[in-house]
Amino acid sequence: EDKVVQSPLSLVVHEGDTVTLNCSYEVTNFRSLLWYKQEKKAPTFLFMLTSSGIEKKSGRLSSILDKKELFSILNITATQTGDSAIYLCAVVYNFNKFYFGSGTKLNVKP
C-alpha cells in the first residue's frame, strides 16, 4: 500500500532554534516530493524535489531528497514565531496522483 509518513507529528521549539522535519514514503512510480506550509488556510508551496542529493534552499528553509532511502528532510534555521504552521509533505506518483502525509505541527514560542 502506498504511503507517506511524516515525523514528528508535532514539535515545540523556541525562537532561534533549528528544526528538522522528516518525510518518508513508499509509493509506486515516484515522480517528485513536495513540501507545503499550511497556516489557517490553503497549503502554500515551499519546495519540489525530484533528484537525490540536491539541496533546495529558500532563505532559512532548505530541503533535500534521498531516493535510495526514500525520505526527505525539511530544515528551518533560526526559527521565528511566523514559522508556526503545519508542514505537509506530498508525493507525486503514478503520473498525476498526489498523496499527502499527515503533517508536522510546528509551534515556535517567543
Partner 1 sequence: DTEVTQTPKHLVMGMTNKKSLKCEQHMGHRAMYWYKQKAKKPPELMFVYSYEKLSINESVPSRFSPECPNSSLLNLHLHALQPEDSALYLCASSPLAGGLGVADTQYFGPGTRLTVL
Q: Is 109 in the site for partner 1 (CB under 8 A)?
A: no
- Using alpha carbons, select from 99, 104, 85 the residue that is nearest to residue 44: 85
| x-marked contacts with partner 1 along 14-53 as a string, rule CB under 8 A | -----------------xx-x------xxxxx--x-x---
Cell 539541496: give the residue: 55
Q: Does 84 bind partner 1 (CB under 8 A)?
A: no
C-alpha cell at 93: 506518483
| CA contacts within 13 A on the Cβ side of 107 | 5
Contact positions toward partner 1, by CB under 8 A?
31-32, 34, 41-45, 48, 50, 88, 90, 92, 96-103
